[in-house]
A and B are shown apart, each in its own frame.
Chain A
Amino acid sequence: MNEEIAFWILAAIAVLGALVAVRKRNLIHGVFALLVFFAGLSGLFLLLLAEFIAAVQVLVYIGAVGVLLLFAIMLTERVAGDDGQRMTSRRWFWGLVMAVAVFVVLLLPAIQQLPSPEAAQTIKPSVEALGKKLMDPYVVTLEVLALLLTAALIGAVTAAQGVRMPKEKDSPE
């Protein structure tokens, strides 16, 4: 019963956050509304006893992605966050169809399992099991991902430094 109340509160927070994130014209407000949505999602993970995923949700989505989005906005000229413009499309019908289609595809795995299976009451040390899985059967995947991320990091540094023109050296400051 208590879990159900908590679920509805968290779900309401998440849905409201997502709605505000889409509807707000102010970019910064939108980002913070998106973060509220992420926080609600993290609460839902906690409710499912997936504490590790909840923590990572906060760490990655709120801590990293949120800050990244804010940084990106601050680097543009819309620092005030409000540009007064509004994108409207007259082809909203196809947009709606597309949105519904994506929604249904995302829901397919859940629909296939109807009626929904009983939730596990307790999950013993979830972090430990996850760590062992990552280090034993999926270690190659993990290493490949790490390599990919490192390559991306180096690429980002290279891109940020820009192409060094030989002319630049000679030109007086």
Chain B
Amino acid sequence: MSLVLIDILIATVPLMLIFASLFAFTTWLERKALARIQNRIGPNKVGIPCTRISLFGLGQPAADGIKMLFKEDIVPRGADRLFHLLAPILALIPAMLVLCFLPLEFPWTKSLLPVQAFLLDGAVIFFFAITGLNTLAVFMAGWASRNKYSLLGGMRAVAQMVSYEIPLVLSAVIVVMMVGSLNAAVIADAQTGFNWFVFSPWGFAAFVIFFIASLAETNRSPFDLPEAESEIIAGYFTEYSGFKFALFFLGEYIAMFAISGLAVTLFLGGGDGPGLANAPWLSVVWFIAKIFALIAMMIWLRGTLPRLRVDQLMGFAWKFMLPLSILNILVAGFAWHAQQQDSKTITVITWVISLAILYGTASGLNQLNRGSARPRKYKYAE
């Protein structure tokens, strides 16, 4: 009994520590990168305490954390106290939980039973099911605050997350079809030796759809309407301060890591990379490096793209991403049958045809939607 408990601790504590410290580093990286994009310097003062060494401001996350911890926790008088307390916790737990489903092969956890237990046959489905709970936390926060901006943010978040979950799951279906398994570890193993799914027309299309949808799922810019600071203050966490706010912040970043980790597992070969034959422990390093590549892209997009309007957001999900991802499933189905033939010419022909179909559909959908992109008519305001 106690041995199992120790095993669970060995399996989970490093996961939490690694991702929490990555979170701290990412906040610094994001502030620094955004500052450079906007021609500012960014945090550069806080370094090692009691010395004058600033280390490019790397101490900033620690200072932020301590500040959050000591800030006053304000609960509005009209708020629903229980839900106001539960929402940040509910935002963090699913994000932390899904990290277990990622096929991260730490050298010290390989034979542990609790780790083996999470290599389920339905890991990918579990991942989507549990990340879906995030929507409820956001809604809970928006509703419990009894603030109209919070409620608006919560409603926006629910509509957005529900819409973008469909292309997200449909693009993951392609990989599941190709591998024939929902097991995350099996999917990662199927891509060893640079057979990554992103290196095929259907896989690349699916990866792009997945990445865009994951931006929307994690409320990242340009899909950050639920917390649009120029429109609705801070959206669903307007009424949160102190450590509850920090929990939301942490949950959001951990969710980013988790969904990027799933993208790496599905499309970018999991822990695959050069030098694995000599040093198997490198797979964890490659995995986290790939996650960071995706995070860097997210930061870059945040610095460069303006925020979408609500109707544009919905139109993009339903009129562009959904048809394209459904067509992509068809293409991938034909491609799978073509691959079974095991001949070079057929493979080449499949690649050319599927590239043409996907490109044609994407540009066609783009043309179709262009006609409907008129200036918005406002019903209740002028």
Q: Which of A's residues lie within 8 Å of B, judged by CB?
A: 28-29, 32, 35, 51-52, 55-56, 58-59, 62-63, 66-67, 70-71, 74, 79-81, 125-128, 173
Contact = CB atoms under 8 A, between A and B. Distances in A.
A125 B121 contact: yes
Contacts of A29: 83
B158 interface: yes
A67 B136 CA distance: 7
B223 interface: no
Question: Which of A52, A63, A66 neighbours the largest number of chain B CB atoms within 10 Å of its CB?
Answer: A63
Given A67-B162, A74-B155, A51 B132 contact: no
Interface stretch (B123-131, B248-256, B264-272, B361-369): B123-131
B182 interface: yes
A58 B377 CA distance: 38
Nearest to A58: B129
B211 interface: no
Contacts of B182: 127
Contacts of A81: 143
7 contacts: A29-B83, A58-B130, A62-B129, A70-B158, A74-B155, A79-B151, A127-B182
Contacts of A125: 121
Contacts of B158: 67, 70-71
A126 B126 CA distance: 14
Nearest to A123: B121
A55 B129 contact: yes
Given A59-B128, A67-B158, A51 B121 contact: yes
B122 A55 contact: yes
B139 to A, nearest CB: 6
Tell me if A's interface is mostly helix, strand, loop or mixed: helix
B121 A56 contact: no
Nearest to B146: A80
Nearest to A57: B129
B373 to A, nearest CB: 19
Contacts, number: 61
Task: Using C-beta atoms within 8 Å of the partner chain, give the interface range for chain B.
Answer: 20 to 34
A51 B146 CA distance: 38
Interface in B323-382: 377
Given A59-B132, A70-B136, 20 more contacts: A32-B83, A52-B121, A52-B122, A55-B125, A56-B125, A56-B129, A58-B129, A59-B129, A62-B129, A62-B133, A63-B133, A63-B135, A63-B165, A66-B136, A67-B139, A79-B151, A125-B121, A127-B122, A128-B121, A173-B377
Contacts of A80: 146
B161 to A, nearest CB: 8
Question: Which of B122, B135, B151 neighbours the largest number of chain A CB atoms within 10 Å of its CB?
Answer: B122
Contacts of B140: 32
| A-B CB proximity, top 6 nearest | A63-B132, A59-B129, A58-B129, A127-B121, A55-B125, A55-B126
Contact of B129 (A28, A32, A63, A128): A63
B85 interface: no
Interface in B1-16: none
Given A56-B125, A62-B136, A51 B120 contact: yes
Given A58-B129, A58-B130, A79-B151, A70 B122 contact: no
